[in-house]
């Protein structure tokens, strides 16, 4: 969730994630086949500095909303050996380190917090100011599930989780 902000002329200030418009999806292999799912971004914000550069980002995902399209698999993901959702219902990502990648995108090196553990998570994204005042940020990340303590045989659940973010933000009014 970082962005090509300077070139886009994004206004300085704090931008708030719309939980109803934002989509966070993921893909991982399960028994050798791709599995796709989604989770709700319950809260998040992006702070943009006076030079239209990103300064700080925080996003909180509601893991209780996880949906892979198969209720039994979703129930399995709740278990302590996987996401342990009953004890750790949210996943957060924070970032205060940004760099342009030379291809019109920004790279944000942040930290993901899940299951009581933390691990580095790099997100690459662009920002698209919308004519109606919204800011749309599209980002991607790759998470090694073992870095956050999720253990399972690789043939059962793939080690790499591909994450896609389509975040819609509105500017917070001062005051």
**This prediction's pTM:** 0.89
pLDDT at residue number 4: 43
Output the tens digit of pLDDT for each of the chain's 175 residues. Answer: 333 444 457 888 999 999 899 999 999 988 778 999 999 999 999 999 888 888 999 999 999 999 999 999 999 999 998 999 999 999 999 998 998 887 778 899 999 999 999 999 999 999 888 999 999 999 999 999 999 988 876 768 889 999 999 999 999 876 5
- Of 94, 133, 115, which Cα lies nearest the Cα of 2? 94
What does the alpha-carbon distance between residue 57 and residue 46 come to, in Å, rounded to a whole number? 5
3-state helix, strand, coil in the chain (%, to 5): 10, 55, 35
Q: Where are the domains of the chain?
A: 5-171
pLDDT at residue number 83: 92
pLDDT at residue number 51: 83
Residue whose tokens read 């997100």: 123
Residue whose tokens read 């999720």: 150
> Quick one: CATH architecture of 5-171?
Beta Barrel (2.40)
Residue whose tokens read 């809260």: 43
Q: Helix (H) and strand (E) counts for the chain?
A: 2, 9
Using the 8-state DSSP alphabet, how is residue 4 labeled? -
pLDDT at residue number 6: 44
């Amino acid at each position: 969730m970082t962005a090509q902000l300077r070139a886009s002329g994004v206004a300085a200030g704090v931008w708030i994630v719309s939980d109803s418009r934002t989509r966070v999806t993921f893909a991982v292999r399960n028994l050798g086949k791709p599995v796709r799912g989604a989770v709700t971004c319950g809260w998040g914000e992006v702070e943009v500095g006076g030079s239209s550069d990103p300064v700080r980002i925080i996003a909180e995902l509601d893991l209780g909303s996880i949906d892979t399209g198969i209720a039994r698999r979703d129930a399995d993901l709740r278990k302590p050996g996987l996401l342990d959702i009953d004890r750790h219902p949210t996943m957060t990502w924070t970032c205060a380190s940004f760099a342009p990648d030379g291809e019109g995108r920004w790279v944000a090196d942040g930290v993901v917090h899940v299951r009581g553990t933390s691990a580095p998570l790099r997100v690459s994204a662009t920002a698209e100011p919308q004519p109606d005042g919204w800011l749309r940020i599209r980002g991607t990340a790759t998470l090694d599930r073992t870095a956050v303590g999720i253990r399972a045989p690789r043939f059962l659940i793939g080690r790499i989780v591909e994450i896609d973010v389509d975040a819609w933000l509105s500017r917070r009014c001062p005051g």
